[in-house]
Amino acid sequence: MPTKVDFKDLSISMGMNPVTEDVLITTDEDAVKRALYNIVMTRKGERFFKPDLGSNVADLLFEPLDAATASLLKEEIEYVINKYEPRINLLRCDVDADYDGNGFECSISFEIIGIPTDVQVRDVEFFLERTR
């Protein structure tokens, strides 16, 4: 029988649990999805004790809004996820330019390693846009 692995991360809101009065946590699938977004959006050098962790995604968002930049973003996202997120098996990453929204739609499909459920493939989507 496979062993279930629990994944826990601190909630990005840093809110307080009203019952335990401890910091809110995210678990399992939600924790992994939040970690994927955080890894993709972290710039290299932002984490003090892990200066190599991060990606060039934020820099690529200031390149022209076209298919070539979308392809570069896809390669960077796949690289950084495969390098820094051992809890998942990356199945697919799609990045498409959204000319009306002035950014890029990102869709990631993955399997979580160690969490046996009926739903094996999970998806997370987010919008990548320029920020200062």
CATH class held by domain 8-129: alpha beta
pTM for the full model? Answer: 0.81
Strand (E) positions, the chain? 8-10, 25-27, 88-98, 103-112, 121-129
Using one digit for the tens of pLDDT, what is the confidence trace for 76-102? 999 999 999 998 999 999 999 999 999
Mean pLDDT (the chain) is 85
- 1: confidence class by pLDDT, cuts 50, 70, 90: very low
pLDDT in tens, 16-40: 666 776 665 655 677 788 889 989 9
The Cβ of residue 96 has, within 10 Å, a number of other Cβ atoms equal to 13
87 versus 66: the higher-pLDDT residue is 66
